[in-house]
Amino acid sequence: MHTLLITGPGGAGRTTVAAATALAAARRGQRVLVLSADTTDPLGTLLGPPRGPATTPAPGLTAEPVATDNLWRARIDSADDFRQGLVDLQERGTAVLGMLGARPLTAEELTELPGTEQFALLRALRRTADAAPTAGGPFDLVVVDMPPIDQAVATLALPAQLRRYLARLVPAERQAARALRPVLAQLAGVPMPAQWLYETATRWDGELAAVQAVVEAATTSVLLVAEPGPAAAEALRLGRLGLALHGLPAGPVIANRMVPDGSGDPWTAGLAAEQQKYAAQWDAYRPLPHLGRAPRGPEDLALLDPGPVPVPDRSDWPVEDRRAEDGLLVWTVPLPDAQKRELDLVRRGDELLLGAGPYRRIVPLPSALRRCTVSGASLTDGALRIRFTPDPALWPR
């Protein structure tokens, strides 16, 4: 299954391209699911009303057939997802909450908090990976209408970040404490708070690990959508930088709403020339025409087919052994279009804090580099090359 995450600068037409991509793939014979967490439901307008009854391809995921054969749409209700998640958490911790004298909240009085859309979207991605062969799944292609690119990068980085926080805040217990916990629970007659905490943390880590596996899978890729212009150029550069920092490949840019230059009108010709100038700066792009109005349904979407989207190879961060030549090990981090002034690098124990523009990532060092000291770094040809010198006290002779 290919998971295609579609994002780009705000207002670039991400939802339209997501709908057009999904519709075109379905008409080519693929089984396609298109996902969106947008509360205004623009996909409903673009793809039209349901063509049949809704199905449940995976627990917690409801999809309805739309527009053509082999195409299903699922709109994520983040408010309902938040309410159900909190109610389930309360039910699991009933004994502990009772000990504390807490009064559980009912689903009717819960309102979602800011940021719940990202969690709901990630959980939906997890569920699509478990789609059953019946009820519409499994799918050949899952197209996801992501939020604007800065939010999308933060959302996709969230599972790995939260797993790291959990590991630091709720570390693995010692064997003696683990063995003692059931005895204390029997004496008290209720589950001990620490037991509930660790069980909850373990469950969360498992869910986050499953989501992270989908995001980092070789079959998951990102498609960028932009309307060529100066603002879009910088937003795309920073977005690509953030995606690369988290090891996420991005395919060709969809240059959306391209104005034809053959009308003879000077203003239109000038706008078309400016769009061509900025689009030409991208390594690869696919133009989509400006329809002169907002797309109104599947017939208009058929005019905006971006074509099959390949799955780009994920770039590794290789470690080059140059001890024989320079006495160094070199770790290469691909960061396309990065600028030296916006990079940051800090070694903290066995981890490396990498900063690129507005984005940050903490990564564990490969085992060989943990026995080295950072001796320098350079940025050349879109790659950050970090030099490590073996520590004589730790490196085997």
- Would you say 224 and 235 are in contact if contact means Cβ atoms under 8 Å apart? no
Q: Each residue of 139-177: pLDDT tens digit?
A: 889 999 998 999 899 888 888 888 887 777 767 654 444
Same structural domain for residues 53 and 133? yes
Q: What residues does 354 pair with on adjacent strands?
A: 345, 361
CA-nearest of 297, 374, 371, 305 to 333 is 374
**Alpha carbon distance 364, 352 (integer Å):** 6
Q: Each residue of 5-62: pLDDT tens digit?
A: 999 998 888 999 999 999 999 999 899 999 887 777 788 888 888 888 888 877 777 8
Q: What angle do helix axes 116-129 and 149-169 make, rounded to 10 degrees?
A: 80
Domain carrying residue 17: 2-80+107-304
Q: What is the DSSP letter of 59?
A: T
Same structural domain for residues 297 and 350? no
In a domain, 313, yes or no: no
Of residues 318 and 105, the one with the higher pLDDT is 318
Q: Each residue of 53-104: pLDDT tens digit?
A: 888 877 777 888 888 888 998 877 655 654 465 545 545 555 544 544 555 5
70 to 27, 33, 65, 258: CA distances (angstroms): 8, 8, 8, 29
CA-nearest of 86, 15, 3 to 47 is 15
Same structural domain for residues 259 and 382? no
In a domain, 18, yes or no: yes
In a domain, 310, yes or no: no
Same structural domain for residues 58 and 189? yes
CATH code at 341?
A: 2.60.40.790
- Answer whether residue 355 shows pLDDT above 80: yes
In a domain, 188, yes or no: yes
Same structural domain for residues 280 and 350? no
In a domain, 42, yes or no: yes
CA-nearest of 8, 4, 336, 337 to 152 is 8
- Answer whether residue 268 shows pLDDT above 90: no
- Domain count for the chain: 2
Same structural domain for residues 139 and 17? yes
Same structural domain for residues 283 and 344? no
In a domain, 335, yes or no: yes
In a domain, 21, yes or no: yes
pTM equals: 0.82
**Alpha carbon distance 378, 385 (integer Å):** 5
CATH code at 115?
A: 3.40.50.300
